[in-house]
Amino acid sequence: MRDAVIAHSRPHYTPPVPTIGVLALQGDVREHLTALTGLGARAIAVRRPAELDACDGLVLPGGESTTMWRLARIFDLLDPLRERVREGMPAFGTCAGMILLADRVLDAVAGQETVGGLDVTVRRNAFGRQVDSFETELKVTGLPDPVPAVFIRAPWVEEAGPEVEVLATAMDHPVAVRQGPLLATSFHPEVDGDGRIHRLFLDVVAGG
C-alpha cells in the first residue's frame, strides 16, 4: 500500500517541448509555423543569429533559393547556419530548402552558395516552371500510407552520397532524402495539411 502511494505521488514526466525555427527570410514561413505548432512544437521565426541559437531544429522553407541565400548573407546568417548544421543541428529543407541544404547544385545562378551538409547534387527547377506544378501521392519510407505531395518549380536529387537514405522518388528521381539529422523534400508538405512529414522531422529532432 505504501509503495502504491509513493508511486502515485511521483510527478508525471512531461517531455520537453522542442523549439523549432523556421528560416524567415522568404517563402512559406507561416505555413511551416502553423504545421509545427499544430504538432505541439514551439515554432519561432528565425531572421537573426540569436534566434537561431535558441533552436533545437530548423526548417528551411520553400520559396526562392537564390533570394534566401542572398538575404542570409545580408542578415549575417549564412555562416551561423553552416556552423549549426556542422555541429549536428537537425534541419529540414523543403523545395528551395532542399537546395539550401545540398552540397552541390546544378543549374545554379552564378556564385550561388548553400548551407550544405547534405551529400547530394540537386537540380534547380528540375520539374519545370510554375505552370508545370502538380500534385500527386508518394510512398514514403517509414510511413504506412502514401502522403500528398505538391511540386512547385521543384528540384530533384541527381546524385546522392552513400550515407544518404532515399525516402521517396518521383519520375525516377529521389524527392525525399535523409542523412542523419538532415531531412529534405522536393515537395511542399507545409501546404497540404497532412502533417506526417513534419512529424517525421520532429522525431528526428527527438533523436528518432
Q: In the annotation, is 190 catalytic?
A: yes
Residue tagged active-site, from 31, 32, 55, 188: 188
Instruction: Choose among 54, 36, 11: nearest CA to 94.
Output: 36
Find where cell 537540380 sits.
123
Q: Are 182 and 101 in contact (CB under 8 A)?
A: yes
Residue tagged active-site, from 31, 32, 55, 190: 190
Residue tagged active-site, from 95, 113, 159, 198: 95
| Other Cβ atoms closer than 10 A to 194 | 16
Q: In the annotation, is 31 catalytic?
A: no
Cell numbers describing residue 127: 520539374
Annotated active-site positions, please? 95, 188, 190
